[in-house]
């Protein structure tokens, strides 16, 4: 049985492979907002960096931990990292991510989950 | 053989279990600086949030992607998430992390790596 004094830490990591896309912060902010909205998360701070010639890093501190997105536009790669201490499932994350990238010509969406079971079991 | 046009994306996630510790941003910034220094990473932006009654979120945007640390001081939990597009190994991350938490009364340090092999193979 789960010890109620231990934190829930869910981490989901997505990799989206697409056609090459524009190096646009606005597009990635839109993607992040769609994920945050779909999963009903709360953004408390934002941080972004546009790299030259290519690439965006966009990070939201959430009241539930963080969402970080990194892109390699010329290669068509989007990396999404979500750490949350609320009970969202991998399926919910994957659904939100797939829904958020419908504007891209997507080749694949791969999602992995990281769990430290000892935290829940200790 | 690896396609040179694909990005390296290494992600290492650490969970440190300790005695309960002080809710101190300064201590966590010190921990982050030790990891960044040990792994020779470059910080381009910082973002932090002190939660009440307990908890710190500290995120660095790196020129190599990001380092995010979240804490549950009252439970003695530190979660460290490193995404980098440079060739640091899991062993190097684990060594840097263990070295950075020597000021804590540590019960365990667990490290996991996330790889999307298809990125390297595509």
* pLDDT tens-place string over residues A18-30: 999 999 999 999 9
Average pLDDT (B29-50) is 96
- Give the number of other Cβ atoms within 10 Å of residue A5's Cβ: 9
Q: Please report the pLDDT score of residue A88 as a whole number.
A: 94
Supply φ then ψ for residue A100, to 5 degrees: -75, -20
Q: Please report the pLDDT score of residue A8 as a whole number.
A: 83
Q: Please report the pLDDT score of residue B49 as a whole number.
A: 93
Active site residues of A: 65, 70, 85
Share the mean pLDDT of chain B.
90
Q: Taking CB atoms and an 8 Å limit, are B118 and A17 in contact across chains?
A: yes
Q: Which residues of A touch B116 (CB under 8 A)?
A: 15, 110, 112
Average pLDDT (A59-87) is 95
pLDDT band at B6 (very low <50, low <70, confident <90, very high): low
ipTM score above 0.85? yes
Average pLDDT (B76-90) is 95
- Rounded CA-CA distance A119/A84 in Å is 14
Share the mean pLDDT of chain A.
90
Is the per-residue pLDDT at A48 higher than 50?
yes
Whether A42 and A60 have beta carbons less than 8 Å apart is answered as: no
Whether B23 and B50 have beta carbons less than 8 Å apart is answered as: yes
Is the per-residue pLDDT at B1 higher than 80?
no
Is the per-residue pLDDT at B48 higher than 80?
yes
Is the per-residue pLDDT at B4 higher than 90?
no
- Rounded CA-CA distance B52/B88 in Å is 35
Whether B72 and A7 have beta carbons less than 8 Å apart is answered as: yes
Q: What is the dihedral of CA A29, A32, A38, A42, to 10 degrees?
A: -100
Q: Taking CB atoms and an 8 Å limit, are A66 and B57 in contact across chains?
A: yes
- Give the number of other Cβ atoms within 10 Å of residue B103's Cβ: 12
Cis omega before residue B20 (within 30°)? no
Average pLDDT (A73-96) is 96
Q: Which residues of A touch B14 (CB under 8 A)?
A: none
């Amino acid at each position: 049985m789960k010890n109620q004094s231990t934190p829930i830490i869910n981490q989901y990591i997505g990799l989206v492979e697409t056609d090459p896309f524009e190096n646009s912060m606005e597009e990635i902010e839109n993607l992040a907002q769609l994920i945050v909205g779909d999963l009903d998360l709360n953004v408390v701070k934002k941080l972004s960096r546009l790299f030259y010639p290519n690439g965006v890093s966009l990070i939201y501190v959430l009241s539930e931990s963080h969402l970080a997105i990194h892109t390699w536009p010329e290669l068509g790669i989007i990396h999404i990292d979500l750490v949350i201490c609320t009970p969202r499932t991998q399926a919910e994350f994957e659904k939100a991510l797939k829904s958020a990238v419908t504007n891209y010509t997507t080749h694949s969406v791969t999602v992995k989950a990281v769990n430290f079971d000892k935290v829940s079991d200790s």
